[in-house]
Structure 1
Amino acid sequence: MDLESEPLRRRRGAELEDALLAAAWDELIETGYAALTFDAVAHRAGTSRPVIYRRWPTKAELVRAAVDHTMLRDLPVPPDTGALRTDLIALMHFANEHRAGFTVLLSYYLGPYFQETGTSPADLRESAFEHRSTGADLALDRAAARGELDPARLTPRIRSLPFDLYRHEALMTLKPVPDDVIEEIVDEIFLPLVQSTEREGSR
């Protein structure tokens, strides 16, 4: 029987694509990249292999799309606490609750994918967030508009620094990042790099 002919499984457009990518992600974290198959993803999604092949002709393309989909799902609304420090801490607390295991999962389950494609977790993140602002970007831009930091100091490397440090800590410990480490990243490392001279002089 053609699975697509069953009434309960007649999905189209974004609904179908979401179901396929969610199934691919679930299969990935259950079996790993090497063991993932189109048949297994199709069975989990309640559809057929050709439906998947038409969108993503290779396993690597399917997995990349599934990772992008998962990265961009349920992104936090950037908090606006009125201060950069508390905005960043709130974002990291959100990451602890919803994203702490994500980098670990990528590194653990996607080793064969990175080897096959010659890419890295950084490449996947860059692909997912291309032309998109992250919550941290929006918090930094608001802080610059308030005069809380010096925009000239916000190089791409500095912009990514607090969450690069956060992800490194999560990857090294395989646990959510403790509050004292979050505050150390923000207070002792990041803010001294970006605060405007005027604010530093007034402290």
Structure 2
Amino acid sequence: MPTEAPTASRRRGELLERAILDAAWAEVLEVGYPKLTMEAVAARAQTSKPVIYRRWRTRAALVLAAMQHSLPGWDDLPDTGSLRSDLIALLQRVAHRFDLVPGDLIPGLITETFSDPESAAAVRAQITSFARARILRPVLQRAVARGEITTTEISPRLARLPFDLMRNESMIYGMPVSDAAIAEIIDEVVLPVLAATPRES
């Protein structure tokens, strides 16, 4: 087991936090969530456990922050020229995003935080963070401008729908969601629902 390293000099604020988050994610990828220790993260980041605990009170909180820090963001949303291909590209990106997450991480986080409502809520928020209406709205706005649909106003449930269906597909069959399954979700469920959504008043 790595020994705890002394705190590196002159690292403060964001620079130190980035080093800790990078170290935590590297440990997750190298040893998996169940074997991750705060000692190993501190050694890799060249800091101390108390420094880490001042920022993240639990291992789960640290790893959630590291996951958010390390996974690709949503700044560059698909713009392919059609709503269907935009939505397919978006779901493929979501599928790829979770290809980057070790298979034992999400189950481990859920199990570890089961008795801690605050941490459990943070895990759920991280897992479903891509399913917010703000992620879909730019795609829908372009579709409205092209005349493909009539409104960008969708309910939170509809905003979650394609991602919930994809997550269910993965959990039921225990494998990455195929491109064919993504196309079926879009063609057979999401597009018909969007087409039936009432026009903005």
Scaled to the shorter chain, the TM-score interval is 0.7 to 0.9
Contact 1:20–1:45 (CA under 8 A) maintained in structure 2? yes
- Alignment coverage as a number of residue pairs: 190
Q: Which range is displaced more, 42-51 or 144-153?
A: 144-153
Percent identical:
41
Per the normalisation by structure 2, the TM-score is 0.75
Q: Amino acid of the residue matched to residue 4 of structure 1?
A: A
Equivalent residue, structure 1, for 2:78: 79
Q: List aligned pairs for 1:1-203, cutoff 5 A.
A: 2-5=6-9, 10-28=10-28, 30-33=31-34, 35-71=35-71, 73-75=72-74, 77-100=76-99, 102=101, 104-118=103-117, 119=120, 121-125=123-127, 133-134=134-135, 136-151=136-151, 154-195=154-195
Contact 1:80–1:139 (CA under 8 A) maintained in structure 2? yes
Q: Which range is displaced more, 83-92 or 138-147?
A: 138-147
Report the Cα distance in structure 1 between the residues aligned to 2:102 and 2:127, rounded to whole angstroms.
Answer: 10
Contact 2:141–2:152 (CA under 8 A) maintained in structure 1? no
Q: Amino acid of the residue matched to residue 147 of structure 2?
A: G
Q: CA deviation at 1:83?
A: 1.1
Report the Cα distance in structure 2 between the residues aligned to 1:190 and 1:103, rounded to whole angstroms.
Answer: 29
Q: Secondary structure at the match of 2:86?
A: helix
Q: Amino acid of the residue matched to residue 83 of structure 1?
A: S
Per the normalisation by structure 1, the TM-score is 0.74
Contact 2:149–2:195 (CA under 8 A) maintained in structure 1? yes
Q: CA deviation at 1:182?
A: 1.1
Greater percentage in helix: 1
The RMSD of aligned alpha carbons is 3.2
Structure 2 stretches lacking a partner, 5+ long:
none
Q: Amino acid of the residue matched to residue 100 of structure 1?
A: D
Structure 1 stretches lacking a partner, 5+ long:
199-203
